[in-house]
Amino acid sequence: MKAVLPAAGWGTRFLPISKAVPKEMLPLGAKPVIHYVAEEAALAGCTDILIILNQSKESIRRYFEPDPVFEEILAKAGKTKELAAFRSPAELARFHFLYQPEMRGLGDAVRLAKDFIGDEPFAVLLADTVITGQSPLGHMLQVTAETGRSCVSLEQCPPERVSRYGIAGGVADAASGLYRLDAMEEKPALEAAPRLRDAQGAVLAPHAFAARYVFTPAIFPALEACPPGRNGEIQLTDAMRTLLREQGFYGAPLAGKRLDIGNPQGLLEAAALFC
Q: Which residues bind ligand UTP (CB under 6 A)?
A: 6-13, 24, 52, 100, 103-106, 108-109, 126-128, 262
Cβ-contact 250, 173 below 8 angstroms:
yes
Nearer to ligand UTP, 75 or 103 (CB): 103
Distance, CA of 226 to CA of 108 (rounded, Å): 10
Q: Minimum CB separation from ligand UTP for residue 27, in Å?
A: 16
Q: Minimum CB separation from ligand UTP for residue 105, in Å?
A: 5
Nearer to ligand UTP, 117 or 143 (CB): 117
Cβ-contact 39, 92 below 8 angstroms:
yes
Q: Minimum CB separation from ligand UTP for residue 69, in Å?
A: 29
Nearer to ligand UTP, 126 or 140 (CB): 126
Q: If DSSP codes are grouped into helix, strand and coil, which group holds residue 254? A: coil
CA distances from 157 to 142, 173, 189, 209, 275 (A): 26, 21, 13, 9, 25
Nearer to ligand UTP, 106 or 151 (CB): 106
Pick the closest to residue 107 from 11, 186, 192, 46 (CA basis).
186
Pick the closest to residue 169 from 106, 225, 237 (CA basis).
237
Prior bond of 16 cis (ω within 30°): yes
Q: Minimum CB separation from ligand UTP for residue 65, in Å?
A: 19
**Which residues 6+ apart lie within 8 Å of 83 measured at CB?**
71, 74, 75
Pick the closest to residue 179 from 162, 155, 160 (CA basis).
155
Q: Minimum CB separation from ligand UTP for residue 84, in Å?
A: 28
Residue nearest to ligand UTP (CB): 9
Nearer to ligand UTP, 169 or 266 (CB): 266
Cβ-contact 110, 219 below 8 angstroms:
yes
Nearer to ligand UTP, 52 or 151 (CB): 52
